[in-house]
Amino acid sequence: MDLKEKTIKKEYVYQGLILNVRKDEAETADGQRVPREVVEHPGGVGIAMEDDEGKFFMVTQYRYAQEKVMTEYPAGKREAGEEPLLTAQREIIEETGYEGTDFFYLGQMAPTPAYDSEIIHLFYARQGEFRGQHLDADEDLNVSKMTLDEITAKIVSGEITDAKTIGMTFLVRAYKEGKYD
C-alpha cells in the first residue's frame, strides 16, 4: 500500500527566526483531504565528544519550552546551507571550548516527525585542543563530563529526557562496540 500523502495547499501562519509554522491541506493515498500542521526547522547536530579518560562532554542549560534545566550532549542549529559536519565542528567549540577531532557520523534522527521537519545529524568525536568557549549572547550553560554508564543511568532514572541524548547514547555504545562498518 502506498502511504505517501500529496500536499495540496501550504499556508504559512508564522515565520520566525528559528522556525516557521504551516497549516497545510494534504491528500492521503486513498483520496481523503486532511489538514496537516507542520513546523519547519533548519535542523541541527548533536555531538558526543569523548576525552582521553572515556568521559563525554555534557551541557546543562535551561530549556524554556520545557520549563526546566536539562542535561544533554552539546548540540546546535544548522545555519542556512551549512553542512552538518561544519555545524558540528563549530558548535562543539562554541559550547565546550574544545575542538573536536576524528569526527564519525553516527546517523540522523527525526525527533518529532509527526509535525516537525527537523533532522538532527549525530556525531561522535574525540576531544581536541582548547580554543575557548564562544556562547551565543542568550546562551547560558554549564559543561560537565560523564561516562557512558553515568549517562545511561541518568537516562534510565529519568534525569536525562532529551531525545537526541537518549538516541545518541545508544548509537555511541554501538560505535564503541564496533557495530558500525
pLDDT score of 138: 83
Question: What nine digits make up the cell of 168?
Answer: 545518541
Global confidence as pTM:
0.94
pLDDT score of 89: 98
All CATH 3.90.79.10 domain ranges in the chain, comma separated: 44-176
Whole-number Cα distances in Å, 21 to 110, 117, 144: 17, 10, 35
Q: According to the CATH classification, is domain 44-176 in 3.40.190.10?
A: no
Question: What nine digits make up the cell of 154?
Answer: 541518568
Question: What nine digits make up the cell of 21?
Answer: 509554522
pLDDT digits (tens, 9 = 90+) for 41-60: 999 999 999 999 999 999 99
| Best CA proximity match to 5, nearest among 35, 27, 31 | 27
- Rounded Cα–Cα distance for residues 24 and 7 (Å): 7
